[in-house]
Amino acid sequence: MLPENTPKEAFIDGRWALAPKTFTLRRPDTGAPLAEVADVDAETARKALEAQIEADAHWRKQTPAARGAVLRRWYELILEHAEPLARIMALEMGKPIREGRKEVAYAAGFVEWYAEEAKRIYGTTIPSPDPAKRLMVIKAPVGPVYAITPWNFPAAMVTRKAAPALAAGCTVTLKPAEESPLTALYLARLWQEAGGHPATLQVLPTTDPVGVSRVFLEDPRIRKLTFTGSTAVGQQLYAQAAKTMKRIALELGGHAPFIAFEDADLEKAVAAAITAKFRNGGQSCVAANRIYVHRAIHDRFAEAFAEAVGRLRVGDPLDEATEIGPLVNAAAAAKVEAHLSDALARGARLLGGGKRRGTFVEPAVLARVPLSAKILEEETFGPVAPILSFEREEEALAMANASPYGLAAYLWTRDLGRAWRMSEGLEFGIVGVNDGLPSTPVAPFGGMKLSGIGREGGKWGLDAFLEIKYVSVVIT
């Protein structure tokens, strides 16, 4: 059952609004109906847009300290509500409850960081070459923001976007993924409880993402689009946002390489590869999708890895023991199955797992995967780990970079020189050196190439919602 007080209405202008119709949200594991959720249409979206524009004029004038205080209270409330939030995620998108709790802490971390940083939006003075002038740079909120968030991290992706925007003095209207609207609505309820002014954060669940998004994308008063999702959708949004020259942040697909060198601490590298690959059942943009292991340790690594993967507990996301829940829907499970079959048909060897039951797929390990296999090119977004071997550092670097994506990469070595050479050579926005989980609210998250534009997190995430304004004053 859903926690008490889980909102199902849209959150518009500080009110819980019943949309003209609703849609049925279903559990990914059983397919059972979970809730009837407001299904916002374009007309309702236009009302939300007007409310946001009005609220924006007010919110941007609040002092940074006042904005930070609301964010601080929001942070505390999110932590107090960790249990219901984790439960909602388990029910609506299948995240194992113990992983859901970790996500809540991660999500709250963004709010805490930006509550503090709101007070540190400093400007700059520039020594003037003209004695009659004084030059300075001040920072201003970019203006009203439209945000689109994915289902795989339904709490953290909301706060990673909304917290810096709100701290900077921007208002946010957010369209959550159809698969996970309840987490976003619950977070909005906590924002309201924290004292968030009406229409500073609005949430519009909808089964018409194109129609609702068009309202915001075509309006020149919306000054920024921030999106996390697939590269294909990101490209369309980029083109749409160009017409009104919106500021843009796109966190798109990834295809992370995980490289274990011959001098790696084998035990730690295996444990980190499990985290990097199977966190959230492999449904992460930073998931290790290609595991390259030096020939000298390949067999020992593959054996230990397959053994550890075989111990992962698959099951009910509400069960405390579960480590791998269902995939988000049948289409996701079918894609994983197709990648597995394609690799096997091309000659890969299955070291374990891979059976599918509805939306559940047993975590699988593939060895001797040929370079032509789809799994080495496309994002699998599921619990299958292909292992390949290499001999030389340059070969590993070339294979890792031979991808149109450039979000995250991982490498394991005790050789400091190699760690630096590889970190500098990898064409990825995030590099984990002996670290299978580099994500943190205080560091930049984002990618190169088809993985997107811009960075979220840390001071970079705040800068993304600020305009730089140069002021020149003649003093004579």
Looking at the annotation, which residues are catalytic? 251, 285
Count residues contacting ligand SIN (CB under 6 A)?
Answer: 9
Q: Look at the alpha carbons of 338, 339, 340, 344 in this order and tell me if their dihedral is positive or negative.
A: positive
Give the span between the Cα atoms of 60 and 249, in whole angstroms.
20
Q: Which is nearer to ligand SIN, 166 or 250 (CB)?
A: 250
Burial of residue 347, with CB atoms counted within 10 A of its CB: 0-12 exposed, 13-18 middle, 19 or more buried: exposed
Q: Minimum Å distance from CB 293 to ligand SIN?
A: 23
Contacting range for ligand SIN; rule: CB under 6 A; set: 71-79, 148-156, 211-219, 310-318: 148-156
Mask of contacts with ligand SIN, 225-254, x by CB under 6 A? ---x--------------------------
Task: List Cα–Cα distances, 252 to 80, 104, 261, 277, in angstroms.
Answer: 31, 22, 28, 18
- For residue 120, the 8-state DSSP code is G
Residue nearest to ligand SIN (CB): 439
Tokens encoding 246: 């919106």
Placement of tokens 């009406």 in the chain: 198
Q: Which of 55, 439, 454, 466 binds ligand SIN (CB under 6 A)?
A: 439
Q: Minimum Å distance from CB 157 to ligand SIN?
A: 6
Binding flag, residue 284, ligand SIN (CB under 6 A): yes
Binding flag, residue 256, ligand SIN (CB under 6 A): no
> For residues 447 and 432, is the Cβ–Cβ distance under 8 A?
no
Contacting range for ligand SIN; rule: CB under 6 A; set: 152-160, 177-185, 255-263, 362-370: 152-160
Binding flag, residue 148, ligand SIN (CB under 6 A): no
Contacting range for ligand SIN; rule: CB under 6 A; set: 36-44, 149-157, 339-347, 389-397: 149-157
DSSP 380-446: --SSEEEEEEESSHHHHHHHHH-SSEESEEEEE-S-HHHHHHHHHH---SEEEES-S----TTS-B-
Give the span between the Cα atoms of 329 and 225, in whole angstroms.
27
Which residues, 211 to 230, sit near ligand SIN by CB under 6 A? 228
Q: Which of 286, 387, 388, 462 binds ligand SIN (CB under 6 A)?
A: 286
- For residue 323, the 8-state DSSP code is S
> For residues 172 and 147, is the Cβ–Cβ distance under 8 A?
yes
Mask of contacts with ligand SIN, 107-146, x by CB under 6 A? ----------------------------------------
Contacting range for ligand SIN; rule: CB under 6 A; set: 15-23, 67-75, 281-289, 322-330: 281-289
Placement of tokens 């890895």 in the chain: 305
The count of residues in the chain is: 476
Q: Strand 133-141 vs strand 466-474: parallel, antiparallel, or unpaired?
A: antiparallel
Which residues, 54 to 73, sit near ligand SIN by CB under 6 A? none
> For residues 414 and 392, is the Cβ–Cβ distance under 8 A?
no
Q: Which is nearer to ligand SIN, 161 or 223 (CB)?
A: 161
Q: Minimum Å distance from CB 156 to ligand SIN?
A: 6
Binding flag, residue 153, ligand SIN (CB under 6 A): yes
Mask of contacts with ligand SIN, 185-214, x by CB under 6 A? ------------------------------
Q: Which of 55, 78, 108, 285 binds ligand SIN (CB under 6 A)?
A: 285
Tokens encoding 57: 């004029």
Q: Look at the alpha carbons of 226, 327, 402, 256 in this order and tell me if their dihedral is positive or negative.
A: positive
List the 384-390 sheet strands across, edge first.
Answer: 349-352, 364-367, 384-390, 288-294, 256-260, 408-412, 430-433
Q: Which of 52, 152, 202, 226 binds ligand SIN (CB under 6 A)?
A: 152
Q: Minimum Å distance from CB 377 to ligand SIN?
A: 19
Q: Which is nearer to ligand SIN, 19 or 250 (CB)?
A: 250
Q: Minimum Å distance from CB 296 to ligand SIN?
A: 31
Reduce the DSSP state of residue 131 to 3 states and report it.
coil
Q: Minimum Å distance from CB 340 to ligand SIN?
A: 21
Binding flag, residue 6, ligand SIN (CB under 6 A): no
Q: Minimum Å distance from CB 440 to ligand SIN?
A: 9
Q: Minimum Å distance from CB 307 to ligand SIN?
A: 26
> For residues 261 and 393, is the Cβ–Cβ distance under 8 A?
yes
How open is the CA angle 179-280-157, to the nearest 5 degrees?
Answer: 55
Tokens encoding 80: 């107090």
Q: Which is nearer to ligand SIN, 286 or 351 (CB)?
A: 286
Binding site for ligand SIN (CB under 6 A): 152-153, 156, 228, 284-286, 439, 445
